Structures are given as structure tokens and as C-alpha cells.
Structure 1
Amino acid sequence: MSRLADTWRRAGAAGLLDAALVALAWVAAFVFRFSLLRNNAPANILHIVAVTLPIAVLAWGAALVWFGIYRSAWRHASLPDVWRLARACAVAALALAAVLLVMRVPNFPRSIVLIHPLLAGGALLAVRLAQRQLAERSHRGAPGDARPLLLLGSVDDAAPALQSLRATRLWRAVAVYSPLQAEAGERLQDLPVLGPPRALGEVARAFGAQHALVAGSAGSATRRLLLEQASGARLALLTLPRADDWLQQGAGSTVPRNLELADLLGRAAVQLDVRGLSDLLAGQCVLVTGAGGSIGSELCRQIARFGVGRLVCLDMSEFAIYQLEQELRARHPDMPAVFLTANVRDATRLRVLFERQRPAVVFHAAAYKHVPLMEQDNAIEALRTNVLGTVNAARAAALCGARRFVLVSTDKAVNPTNVMGASKRLAERALQVLAHEHAGTRMVAVRFGNVLGSSGSVVPRFAQQIAAGGPVTVTHPDIVRYFMTIPEAAQLVLQAALMGDSGDIYVLDMGEPVRIVELARLMIRLSGRDEDEIPVVFTGLRPGEKLFEELLADDETTLPTPHPKLRVARHGDVEGPRVDLDALQRRIAIGGAEEPEAAAVKDLLASLVPEYRPQLAPEGNA
């Protein structure tokens, strides 16, 4: 109640001030008309002013109230607020002119209705701009309290960042450094805009800045270039929180935070078909295999947002499923959820669980994905989990009446040179066989590259090596990979569940590939070190590892989908031999007469995956 009363008091005070300004402007208009222009005033001038002044105040006050001027927070005024004030002034002037015309005041000078709006409108705008200026100065803090901050980015990128910085007193923007040479010499909200050929380090020293805020879209070439220059200038790099940080952490998350690798390599936010996903998931039972892994757990987080009737999380790791249970129950205490431990290689266990839970949608993320580990002694395990696990999960989904089944695949399935990639390609082909056998369940696969921060990826390993003081080990100076963030990958997997025909393989837009050595150097720079302190050492490619991964095989083309970041892969005429799933299951079943050696596994894969080319020696090594 006190807050409402305070609001009314502020509006009342603003109204009284505006009335005084309008009245003064009305008197000033007469003074200007008859004194400054040296025209003789009529004998009844005082009577004219006395009669018309209250009418002017009332007309202008009514227009300002009608246009909601007193509902605007002018300490945060923007251009739309100024235009609304201008419209209110125009309507007030026209209404006042009409009233005076009807009144027919004797000897009333008609030029007053033109002079007064200019004076009154200018006064009203000046007061509001002064209010905003005072608010900005109060937010900037004293020079001794706020640390100087350099903004890195073009003028268009820096402007919204500068607006966000006004919410904190911890930082004081001192200049903008733009990578666009044409912008150097401009000013942005009274800040100088500098840029090439002047060095970034020189600019930072001139303004006493040890921190820089990187503005602009994540993953852009401009942002990467600026980051490299900033690391050479020994600047600590910051960025503004993402929108999801604001939603989860509240207003305090507007404070700039340290730049992370995902901010550099990530792309613009994925635009989900929220209505379509709500129709697919809301109120339904959704099951995720491999739910304790990087992609699986993020899928569970994303699915929980759509109001599912029940979320079933399945993983073979007791610890991983326990951690996920604790997180989801804390975030979504009212969401019905079931947490199961099971191995996807156990077909009987899966059929029982699927029949008991009866999911409408299944996301199959369970897999072995570490290339060198699966290449020799564990090769048979890759087939049993990645291929038989997929067959078991897809069959169980079809038998329990699931409407959708989505396999999470990988770019390593394209022209594979390792057991892991070949096993995922065989899983894709097995899924296409099952899609024909079970027409009632739409089965699709989604193929993408490396995911930043996922278990087994290079990013956590590089972070550990940097924390230990180095060196950072990279297999080859020319090795490149596609990268995306975990949330982006999970969201696009969800999106693919809405699309296409059963048996389709979707390819995600992975952006531009990244050289792993550059990734290592960026992480070293983000840690505040340089390569003199943390050296990069090349160790040679590991077994089964390629210099680059393709997203499409040579005999494939892609077709567009309604989503700009998803394309569907279409195979050529040569599909290879049909996969006999029952024979395959008998051949690699657990507990068989003998355990196949790695060579036998590779021969089997070569017979079922024509594009598989096992490496005799790691590619690219001397």
C-alpha cells in the first residue's frame, strides 16, 4: 500500500511541476510575442492571459494523462517515450487551439498557439532528460568506487551492453574499442569510440582499464578476433549474462561475469517450436535413456520445461541417476518423475520397464562415445551398447506403443574410421530397418558433432591440464572439430522429434569447424595465462582419430526442414547390405561361446557398414 501511495505522490509532484512549466511557457509566449517582437499589446492583455492560462494548463494536463506520460519511468527513458511525449504535446496544442477558437477571446493573438507548444514541449522534455541524466550519474558511482571497463565490439554491439551496465555501480565504462576501423573517432553516449590502427593494449593503458567487456553475438568472427587481441593486451575478459541466467538467478545476474568458452564458441539461441513441442510433450510420459550423461541430463532439463505428465530417467550409472534426481526434484518438485537404473543391453529389463511406464516419446542418448577407448579391447562393448542398445530400446518403444523414438547420433558415423563411429552408423542403419518394421512409431536419428563440456570431450581435459600448470596436449596441429553447446544440442534433438518421416537422419547446423590447437590457446588465454607459461604440446593422433569429421557421407545430400538449423540427410542408391538384426544380436550377444577380438569386430563392421575404413595407423601421423 505504501508503494502505491509513493507512486501516486511522485505522479502528483510531476503533474504539479508540468502544470507550472505549461503556465510559465504560456506567459513566456505572450512576452515573446509582444515584447521581444516589439508589437503593441492590446489593452486587455492581462485579461486575455488570466482567462486563457487555466484553459491551457487543463488542456495540456489532460493530454499528458491521456497518453500515460506519468506512467513512464523517465529515469530509464528511451526514444519511444520521447515520441509519446511529442504526440501528447501535439494533441494538447491542437485541442487548446480548438477550444480558444470556439471561445473567441477578443484580441487573442493567434500566433500564441504556435509559440506556446514549442516552449512548453521543450520545457517538459528538458526536465525529463535531466531526470534521466541524474539517474545515470547516480548509477555510475564515484570514480573511486567503480572500476574502469573497456567495451569491445562495434557501436551496434556496445550500445545495448552499455545500457545494461547502468544497472551496476561496480563498473564504469570508459571507452569503446571497435574492430571496425570506420567507427573509430565516433562517440557513443559520450564515450569515445576507438579502434584500429590503434592497438587495444595501448587504449587500455591510456584509460587505466584492466578489464574488458566483450559485446556482440556469441561465436562471431569479430568476437574471436577481439578476444585474441584482448588476451595479448593482458585484459581480464567479461561478458553480460545470458537471458537464461536472468531467468534463473534474478536481477543480480545483470552484473558482468567472466567470459567462458561457451560464450565464445556458442551461437545465437535456438528458436524452438514451443507450441509444437508443447503439443508433443505436455501431459505425456517421456523417457530418456542415458539420462545421467551430458546430453541426456540436458534433455531431461529441457523436457521438464514443457509440463510433461511423467519424466522417466534411465541410466546404468547409479551415481549419475542419483545426481540427476536431486537436481530435478529441487528444480521441479511438482513434476512426476521416475529414476531407473538399467542397462540398455538388457532387452528383457527394457521391455518390462517400457511396458510399465508406457512412454509416448523416447530419447535414446545412452552410448559409449570415447573413440580411443572403444578402438581395441573394448570394441565389442561399443557394438553391444551402441548397436544392440539402440535395437533393444527402439523395439521396446515400439512394443509399448510409443509415438516417437529419437536416436542421438554423431558426426563420427560419417565415413567412419573408428569402431565408435562405425557402431553409431550401424545403429542408424538398424534404426532404419526397425522404422520399416514398426510403422506405428516414428523413428529418427539426429547427428551432431562435439559438445562443449560434455564428458570425454577435450574441454574438461584442457581445463584440468591448465589448472595443473600444463602442458596442454593436442594430438595434431591441423585437427579440427565442430562444436556446439550442450543446451543447443539438446534443444535441436527435441526439435527433430517434431519433424520428418520415420527413418530420417537429421544433421544439425554446426557452424564453422574449430581448430583444436586454437581452442587450447583460447582456453589458456581465458585462464589469464599465455603460452610461455602453459605450453601446447603435440602428441600425435590416437587410434581411429581423423583430422576432421564430416557431417554428411559422400553419397548423401541434404534437404531443408522448417527449422533453419536442421537438415535431413538423404542417402544415394547404394545403401549396403540389409542388416539382419536377429543374426547380429546372436553374433555379438553377451555370454556367447567366445568373446570376439577387436579384429573380428572390425571385420564385422566392415561387412555391415560399407563406408567404414579401419585405420592401420592414425591419420596424419608420420
Structure 2
Amino acid sequence: MSYKKRLSLFILIDSFIVLTAIFFGFFLTNASTGVITTPIVLSSLAIVLSHHAYSLLLHVYKKAWEYASVGEMIIICKVVTLSILTAALTQQMMLGEIFFRLLAVTWLLHMSMIGGSRFCWRVYRDNYLHSSEEKKRALIIGAGSAGTMVARQLLRSSDSVLKPVAFIDDDLNKHQLDILGLPVVGSINQITKTVDSLGIDNIIIAIPSLGRKDLNIIFQECAKTKAKTQILPMLEDIVTGRVSVNGIRDVEVEDLLGRSPVVLDMDRISEYVTDRVVLVTGAGGSIGSELCRQISLFSPKKLVLLGHGENSIYSIEQELKEKFGHLPIEYVTEIADLQDAKKMMNVMGTHHPAVVYHAAAHKHVPLMERNPEEAVKNNIIGTRNVAEAASWHGVETFVMVSTDKAVNPTSVMGATKRLAEMIVQNMDQKSKTNFVAVRFGNVLGSRGSVIPLFKKQIAKGGPVTVTHPDMIRYFMTIPEASRLVIQAGALARGGEIFVLDMGEPVKIVDLAKNLIKLSGYTIEEIGIEFTGIRPGEKLFEELLKDDEVQEKQVFPNIYIGKPATLYLEDIDKIVQTFHTMEKEKLKEVLVSLANNKVKRKKATVVSISG
């Protein structure tokens, strides 16, 4: 309905209500005569006209009465009271006296009929107008301010497909109470019972400040039911304004990680990134592209996107320009191969970056087992080329992205990343550039990770393939991994290996089960098949070797490894001879050297002080 039609309808209805209140009040106070007199006509005109005038002034006719609350009733009270006072003033001026009994009764009738009409419309709209619509019954976990807000929003909204019927909350003081007419039926351990007894279709977890460990506990209880589980955004997303507090969404695997998110030291990062030239290798990859997004938030002077795949580089360049086009950031793309040492020198000499984030690498474990020479080319030679070019051209900070698979490696990928760490740590000893490395576990959602694979398998109806029932891994999200890399640059003094406290490792089979449940299926419907450990894999990963462990955190949730021994002469020998070795021999040499198990006539090592 248009605003003009709505306004006309309200004026017509309110005029009828006001006149009814006045004349009914007149007959109540003048039952003996019942004759309409000049005072009553004059009062009627004064109240009707003033009611409409004050309603327009206080925007009463613009209110959406299906969402009316105490605030709207206060405005109505003001309009009615001012209308009666105007009538009293009119009576005094025109007739010389005020009919107090008439005005008092009229005020009561006027107030009750105007307010009652709005209330009746809301009741009719909520209970009858949409009664034919089938709504899903919702159980809200959390009877605090967020849960109450969600319930109120769902109760008010005629467009919502959800109908809240009860709360669950661990606060015993709220049990047996009604909030917004909805009972608080019990604690978390009663979710299954409540879902069955109340016929719940949807569960909404409405505790934005909930930690991931507690969320995991609640989700596991919800997963025992057939109800769909949704969640309010996390508190940090609400505070940063990325999402609204009422933005209910599906639970994601990332929500269930048992660790608090990385919190950045914004000031220290701004000091070395803002208004500087920054270069990211592997900028088109999952980690590299997220690094570019996070770095752009700090307004560098220039961001150089270096990668080998033109399509991925073009894609991230267009995304950044669209998202951060309002900032004075110059985006430059460089299509280059890390194995081309001259090209690396040329890129560094052209742009003179102050900070380099080295995220380019071959990281797929089974593929590198079959192609060890390519891992040497990209992960070892490529890292050396970029590091030497950065040192030659006076880069201030060089941050290499590494992996937990570099600790006691059993795979070619892990071994080459460990040897790349050695190269970076050695460069720090002979260069003015601060060289550091950052280790973290598996990244959820990155290319080659298990999550996209599991999702594809679930979409096809299963089964989900897991290598071993006891396989465990550390997990983190792509944004968290990128934040750690950026924070490491701010903490860099040279030679360090930074490690994130990744909480408890996760069983891959549990991850698969959660993903199946989050997709709306049961384990029996999809199925899980164990395929056996692949070449180069370990049942568990470590973030630091026993001799590297250093208990003290250098930043919340960030540790630093102790000094290590570097075998540089042996790395050089591999680089010179790898193309002549058989694949199995090359794999053996790489893994042995990375684990410091190569036999030597005379050890040639470099000890670093970190």
C-alpha cells in the first residue's frame, strides 16, 4: 500500500475513533439530557483536528504497527494528551469554561481505542493474517540479550520461516521462566530431549561470545538430533561490523576449531606495512591471495602481486581493485617463475619492496612424492632465488610461509620446506634483511585441503574417504594463517621460526563426521571409507621438534622456535645434482637431510643464534 493511501486510511479510522470516544464520553457524563450541544461539537472539532496535527508532527502515521512496542504507545499517549489539552484550551477560550469530566472520560476512551486498534491489528497480523503459513519450530540456545533479540525479531517478522518456541540456557536462575512468552526449558544437556518433545525443526545458537571449544560441545549435542543447526555470527565479526548481530547462518566447520582466533597488534603491523611497498609471492594461491586482502587493510603504498598462474593473479588483482579501490594503493602484477633468478632480481630491483611475503610453494604431499624434482625446483631453488634477490636489493623484512610438515618430515614436500627454512635462516646470518619463517598446520578451505574434497564427495552422495581412523591434524582458517604471517613480520628480529598455538589437533575422521552432519546428512547416509595412509604421510604432525620447543609465547598464541643447526653445503649439493638422481634416491636424500640423518665424512654446519 502506498504512503498516501495508508495515510488516508489512518486519518479516516482515527477520525471515527476520536468522534466515537468524544460522543460516547458525552453520553456517559450527560446521560440525563443526551442532547448534543455546541460545546460538544466544538470539542469534537478541536480534538479531531489537533489529533491529526500532533500525529503528523510526531510521525504516528509512519510507524510500522506490526512492530509496535512501548515506545510507540508512549507517542500515542503524547498525541492523545496534547489533543485533550488543546480541546481544554479551546473550551476555555471559546466558552469560558472547561468541561473536565467530559475531557477526562474522553481521554480514557481516546487512549484505549487508539492504542487498542493498533494492538488489535498487530494481534490479527501475527496470529491470523499469516496463520495459513507453515513455519518451522525453532529452539534458541542462549536466553541472554542476543537470544532474546533473535526471538523478538522472529516473533515480529511475518516474513520469517521460523517460529521460536523455547529457549535453552545453562543459567539455572532462568529455568522455568518465560521470556517473551517462550519458556526456558533446560540446559544444554537437554537439547535432544527438548527437540523430540517440542517437535523442533531448527536450532539457533544465539551466543555471539561463545568460544569455539564450547561451541563444539553444543554442536555435538545438536548433531544428535535431526534439527538443522544455525548460529549467530561470532562476536569479533559483529564488533568489526562485518556482519549484523541478527545475521543467522549455518554452522561452518571453521566455527568448530577449538582455538581462539588470532588477534593482531594493529599498531606494530601498521608501522612496517602502511605506506610501504609490499611484495607477495604466490599471490594467486589461497594463502597468498588472503595475505593480499589482509595487507590491503593497512594501506600499503604499493602491493606487488607475483605469481606463476596468470588467471589466478588476474582474479585477485580485480578483486582487490574492486574491494579496496577507495584506498590509495597501487596494485602491480608480475607473472614470474621463482626458478628464474634473473627475473627475481629484476622484480626486486624494479619495485624495491620493504616487505616480502614468500607464500609460493608446491604443497600437495602425494603429488610431490611422485615429482620430487619439482619440489626441489620450487620450494628450495625458488626460495633461495627470492631470498637472495630480497637481500641484494635491501628488503627490510622477509617472511616465508612454512608448514608443520617441515617438522621431522617424512614427505618430500615437508623435507623441501624444512630445507627452505634452513636457507632463509642462513640468509639472515649474512644479510641486513630480517629473514623469518612461519609454521602452521593445515588450512581449512585452501586448495588441496581435505574440506573441498569432502564437500565434493558428500555432494555426490559419498562415501567420504579418510586415510586412517587415527589420522590427526592441526587446523586453522585461511584468514588466521594470513594474520599469523603478517604478525610475524611485525615481530621479526631475524632468524626466527614463528609457530601458532593451534590448540588441540583434530581427528580427520571427526572432521569428516562434522562436515557430513553440517551438510544435513547422517553418517549412515553418506558413509566413511578408510583408504590407508598415502606415501609421505604421518598419522600426526608436529609444529616444533623437541629441541626447538620454547615454552614462552612472544605474542598471544604465537611461539618462537629455538636455534637450530643448518646443513647448507648438503643443500647446495642437492641443488647441483638433483636432476641426475632417481626419484626414489632423491626422496631419500631430501628426507634424510631434513631430519639431519645424512652421513658425512666431516660435518659442515652453520649454527644460528636466532
| Shared fold (TM-score, shorter chain, > 0.5) | yes
| C-alpha distance in 1 between matches for 2:178 and 2:441 | 42
Partner of 1:193: 184
Of 583, 586, 592, the residue aligned with 1:600 is 586
| C-alpha distance in 1 between matches for 2:522 and 2:448 | 25
| C-alpha distance in 2 between matches for 1:244 and 1:516 | 27
Deviations 1:467-496 (A, max 9, x none): 000000011111111111111111111111
| C-alpha distance in 1 between matches for 2:193 and 2:548 | 51
Gaps of 5+ in 2: 1-67, 72-114, 600-610
1:587 aligns with 2:577: yes
Please tell me the residue identity of whatever aligns with 1:396: A
Describe the shift of the 1:330–1:452 C-alpha distance in structure 2 as closer, same or farther (beyond 3 A).
same
Please tell me the residue identity of whatever aligns with 1:286: V
Please tell me the residue identity of whatever aligns with 1:599: K
- Contact (CA 8 Å) 2:213, 2:257: kept in 1 or not? no
| C-alpha distance in 1 between matches for 2:333 and 2:540 | 38
Q: In structure 2, the residue corresponding to 1:528 is in which secondary structure? A: coil
Partner of 1:382: 375
| C-alpha distance in 2 between matches for 1:183 and 1:384 | 63
Partner of 1:577: 567
TM-score by length of 1: 0.70
Deviations 1:30-71 (A, max 9, x none): xxxxxxxxxxxxxxxxxxxxxxxxxxxxxxxxxxxxxxxxxx
Q: In structure 1, the residue corresponding to 2:357 is in which secondary structure? A: strand
Please tell me the residue identity of whatever aligns with 1:343: D
Displacement after TM superposition at 1:332 (Å) = 1.5
1:235 aligns with 2:227: yes
| C-alpha distance in 1 between matches for 2:438 and 2:265 | 17
- Contact (CA 8 Å) 1:241, 1:256: kept in 2 or not? yes
Total equivalences in the alignment: 471
Q: How does 1:492-531 map to 2 (within 5 A)?
A: 492-531=484-523
- Contact (CA 8 Å) 1:415, 1:553: kept in 2 or not? yes
1:310 aligns with 2:296: no
Partner of 1:326: 318
Deviations 1:409-456 (A, max 9, x none): 111111111111111111111111111111x11011000001110110
- Contact (CA 8 Å) 2:290, 2:482: kept in 1 or not? yes
Please tell me the residue identity of whatever aligns with 1:606: S
1:214 aligns with 2:200: no
| C-alpha distance in 2 between matches for 1:340 and 1:241 | 37
- Contact (CA 8 Å) 2:379, 2:420: kept in 1 or not? yes
Please tell me the residue identity of whatever aligns with 1:372: P
- Contact (CA 8 Å) 2:397, 2:492: kept in 1 or not? no
Deviations 1:90-140 (A, max 9, x none): xxxxxxxxxxxxxxxxxxxxxxxxxxxxxxxxxxxxxxxx9xxx9xx99x9
Partner of 1:402: 395
Please tell me the residue identity of whatever aligns with 2:346: V
Displacement after TM superposition at 1:201 (Å) = 3.6
Partner of 1:277: 269
Displacement after TM superposition at 1:227 (Å) = 1.7
Partner of 1:149: 138
| C-alpha distance in 2 between matches for 1:600 and 1:413 | 17
Displacement after TM superposition at 1:198 (Å) = 6.8
1:418 aligns with 2:411: yes
Displacement after TM superposition at 1:605 (Å) = 4.1
| C-alpha distance in 2 between matches for 1:331 and 1:587 | 46
1:298 aligns with 2:298: no
Please tell me the residue identity of whatever aligns with 1:478: D
Q: In structure 2, the residue corresponding to 1:407 is in which secondary structure? A: strand
Partner of 2:482: 490
| C-alpha distance in 2 between matches for 1:557 and 1:488 | 22
Percent of residue pairs identical? 41
Displacement after TM superposition at 1:202 (Å) = 3.4
Describe the shift of the 1:198–1:576 C-alpha distance in structure 2 as closer, same or farther (beyond 3 A).
closer
Of 460, 474, 481, the residue aligned with 2:466 is 474
Please tell me the residue identity of whatever aligns with 2:596: P
Displacement after TM superposition at 1:610 (Å) = 1.1
Please tell me the residue identity of whatever aligns with 1:462: F
Describe the shift of the 1:459–1:141 C-alpha distance in structure 2 as closer, same or farther (beyond 3 A).
farther
Displacement after TM superposition at 1:514 (Å) = 0.7
Please tell me the residue identity of whatever aligns with 2:201: Q
Describe the shift of the 1:559–1:348 C-alpha distance in structure 2 as closer, same or farther (beyond 3 A).
farther
Describe the shift of the 1:551–1:186 C-alpha distance in structure 2 as closer, same or farther (beyond 3 A).
farther
| C-alpha distance in 1 between matches for 2:306 and 2:172 | 54
- Contact (CA 8 Å) 2:498, 2:559: kept in 1 or not? yes
| C-alpha distance in 1 between matches for 2:188 and 2:355 | 56
| C-alpha distance in 2 between matches for 1:576 and 1:432 | 8
Query: What's the RMSD between the two structures over aligned residues?
Result: 3.1
Displacement after TM superposition at 1:189 (Å) = 6.1
Describe the shift of the 1:401–1:187 C-alpha distance in structure 2 as closer, same or farther (beyond 3 A).
farther
Displacement after TM superposition at 1:388 (Å) = 1.3
- Contact (CA 8 Å) 1:281, 1:308: kept in 2 or not? yes
| C-alpha distance in 2 between matches for 1:198 and 1:569 | 41
- Contact (CA 8 Å) 2:442, 2:476: kept in 1 or not? yes
Displacement after TM superposition at 1:343 (Å) = 1.4
Partner of 1:366: 360
| C-alpha distance in 2 between matches for 1:190 and 1:423 | 63
- Contact (CA 8 Å) 1:472, 1:535: kept in 2 or not? yes
Which stretch shows the higher mean deviation, 452-461 or 597-606?
597-606
- Contact (CA 8 Å) 2:394, 2:433: kept in 1 or not? yes
Describe the shift of the 1:388–1:195 C-alpha distance in structure 2 as closer, same or farther (beyond 3 A).
farther
Describe the shift of the 1:530–1:537 C-alpha distance in structure 2 as closer, same or farther (beyond 3 A).
same
Gaps of 5+ in 1: 1-73, 78-129, 614-622
Partner of 1:352: 346
Q: In structure 2, the residue corresponding to 1:174 is in which secondary structure? A: strand
Q: How does 1:536-547 map to 2 (within 5 A)?
A: 536-547=528-539
Displacement after TM superposition at 1:231 (Å) = 2.4
Q: In structure 2, the residue corresponding to 1:498 is in which secondary structure? A: helix
Displacement after TM superposition at 1:200 (Å) = 2.5
Describe the shift of the 1:264–1:181 C-alpha distance in structure 2 as closer, same or farther (beyond 3 A).
farther
| C-alpha distance in 2 between matches for 1:564 and 1:460 | 30
| C-alpha distance in 2 between matches for 1:603 and 1:198 | 54
